A and B are shown apart, each in its own frame.
Chain A
């Protein structure tokens, strides 16, 4: 089964309920989209992520009411360096969508804990392992590593063996 080519044209992807909803709301908040291997990724402008998430959660036709996961990818030394990745699921419509926020100059973004309380641990984990700050998080502390740990282990400039 050869891989289908990636689609990045917004016009061709408008049929997906999440993208249609976001474009109708504020087309400037959508930086781009990608359809690859049957999965839709939408790039959201950094300052609109919380509103975009709230909008998708409360959508009447296709509510993405379930936050599956929040994680991060470090593209060091490329810029923008961090990509925060949100996986959403619509339990009623059985659809998935992936939202991404690119963080260039400063590793901080709005927390989505006010939209889904589930984001609490996920965001703490990202903060713990990547050092990305989530503004408005109720309790942003290290989750897995010791409180006094130096550095952020999942960053690409952190050696696999750790600092000696």
Chain B
């Protein structure tokens, strides 16, 4: 969109190359990404991503909402990991308010975040393999994804747009039988990852399409702002969950998968191993889930229980005030980052002391990761572009916001 009038022009003497449009409706561009490719035969000379087709102005909308009304908007940014977005936003506002979150809420948040990571990686693995031509993996992945979506539905009432985290805690107590269902899934899942790996990791065709393809060095990845598995696939050992822990991640033991090769296969193997680590974290949260409240002690910020609201005068007043005029947040600014399935997701929230955020900015991991695409694909074949797009795992909702 933004590039429409900026098509790379061909100069005299350069008539070897041609311009090819890929997208915005190409199935392998994962949404509405348009790529303008300048190709010489099958070889990529230049590649220019064109984004903005999904721009909905969420940052502007946030400025017109109360703080608690922004939570459902955050679901819609990266629609494959809504709970990670919820978490990042509520952590930022909680930091502005100076709230202490009870341990049970923190552990629930960690558990659901890791399930979200698996959910997101399953979609990535299925579509990435589908793009390259391994069609059956998609069906296997979506089988397990369905189980996770059912867990989300059980706890929040929604399969995708969960909005389960609230400023100060969680929306509701997890329902009866929830933890048993999660444990049953967690016990079953590692064998499923073996199944995916049996289909792909040792598969010679998969290896030929991914090994040595779309290579990026660690220096380039850092300079271009890559994060998450895209960065770790190039050998930079950095994970916010371990290195700058938030929401109680320091209580869990897990490994951070790193690969030195920097190609499509390296990013693939990092993500697949991450799924195994995530399920290990889920097991740890189940084993040690603390008892207690799920909301912080801040009646002016957190809606009272439904039951209390109907029987206690004070609770009714708080409920009325929060719903009609929100709650004021002390002046200041905060940048909170979490490790989303795609990399560093950050929320920069500025408060001017009123009940509406003065500015909410989302640092989208995909936007930065997309900048790697020209560096990865220059001089390579057209078919490798498809593998490269899949390997950086973009979500256009997050890029365009």
B192 CB–A CB distance under 8 Å = no
Which of the listed residues A3, A68, A73, A120 has the most CB atoms from chain B within 10 Å of its own CB?
Answer: A68
Binds A, one of B35-43, B153-161, B318-326, B359-367: B359-367
Whether, in the assembled complex, B299 has its beta carbon less than 8 Å from a beta carbon of chain A, the answer is no
Pick the most buried of B5, B224, B236: most chain A CB atoms within 10 A of its CB.
B224
* A145 partner residues in chain B, CB cutoff 8 A: 1-2, 52, 55
A94 partner residues in chain B, CB cutoff 8 A? 243-244
The answer on a CB contact under 8 Å between B225 and A118 is: yes
B393 interface hit (Cβ, 8 Å): no
Contact A69 B98 (CB under 8 A): no
Number of A-B contacts (CB under 8 A): 113
Report if A15 contacts B (CB, 8 A): no
Within the complex, the shortest CB–CB distance from B360 to chain A, in Å, comes to 10
Chain B residues within an 8 Å CB radius of A74 = 359
The distance in angstroms between the C-alpha atoms of A37 and B331, with both chains bound, is: 11
Query: Is the pair B2, A117 in contact by a Cβ cutoff of 8 Å?
Result: no
* Inter-subunit contact B346/A69 (CB<8 Å): yes
Quick one: which of B1-60 are within 8 Å of A by CB?
1-6, 51-52, 55, 57, 59-60
Contacts of B281 in A (CB 8 A): none
Stretch at the interface among A24-32, A42-50, A146-154: A146-154
Q: Does A87 contact B (CB under 8 A)?
A: yes
CB of A94, distance to nearest CB on chain B (Å): 5
**A154 vs B1: C-alpha distance when bound (angstroms):** 19
Chain A residues whose C-beta falls within 8 Å of the C-beta of B358 in the assembled complex = 73
Chain B CB within 10 Å, residue with most, of A41, A91, A144: A144
Q: Is the CB of A146 within 8 A of B335?
A: no
The answer to whether B223 touches A121, judged by C-beta atoms less than 8 angstroms apart, is no
The yes or no answer to B337 lying at the interface (CB within 8 A) is yes
Report the bound CA distance from A87 to B344 in whole Å. 12
Q: Evaluate contact between A66 and B225: CB separation under 8 angstroms.
A: yes
**B52 contacts A141, CB within 8 Å?**
no
A67 within 8 A of B: yes
Please give the distance in Å from A111's CB to the nearest CB on chain B: 15
Q: Mark B195-235, 1 if CB is under 8 A from A, else 0.
A: 00000000000000000000000000011110000000000
Chain A residues within an 8 Å CB radius of B244: 94, 96
Q: Tell me, in angstroms, the Cα distance from A143 to B63 when the chains sit together.
A: 21
Most chain A CB atoms below 10 A, which of B63, B330, B359: B359
Interface residues of B, dominant DSSP: mixed
Contacts known (A98-B335, A147-B4); A3 close to B98, Cβ less than 8 A: yes
B63 touches A160 (CB 8 A): yes
Q: How many residues of A contact B (CB 8 A)?
A: 42
Using known A-B contacts A1-B100, A37-B96, A98-B335, determine if residue A68 contacts B222 with beta carbons closer than 8 Å: no
Min Cβ gap B397→A in Å is: 12
In the complex, chain A residues whose CB is within 8 Å of the CB of B337: 68
Interface contacts beyond A141-B6, A146-B52: sample of 15 additional A-B pairs, CB < 8 Å, sorted by A = A1-B100, A37-B332, A39-B333, A39-B335, A67-B225, A73-B358, A91-B222, A94-B243, A122-B368, A142-B2, A142-B52, A147-B4, A160-B60, A160-B61, A160-B64
20 A–B contact pairs at CB < 8 A?
Answer: A1-B100, A3-B98, A39-B335, A66-B225, A68-B363, A69-B346, A71-B348, A96-B244, A96-B335, A116-B223, A118-B224, A118-B371, A121-B370, A122-B367, A122-B368, A128-B2, A143-B51, A146-B1, A147-B1, A153-B60
The 9 A-B residue pairs with the shortest CB-CB distance, nearest first, are A118-B225, A144-B52, A69-B363, A3-B98, A144-B55, A142-B2, A71-B361, A1-B100, A160-B64
Taking Cβ atoms with an 8 Å cutoff, the residues of A that contact B are: 1-3, 6, 36-37, 39, 41, 65-69, 71, 73-74, 85, 87, 91, 94, 96, 98, 116-118, 120-122, 125, 128-129, 141-147, 153-154, 158, 160
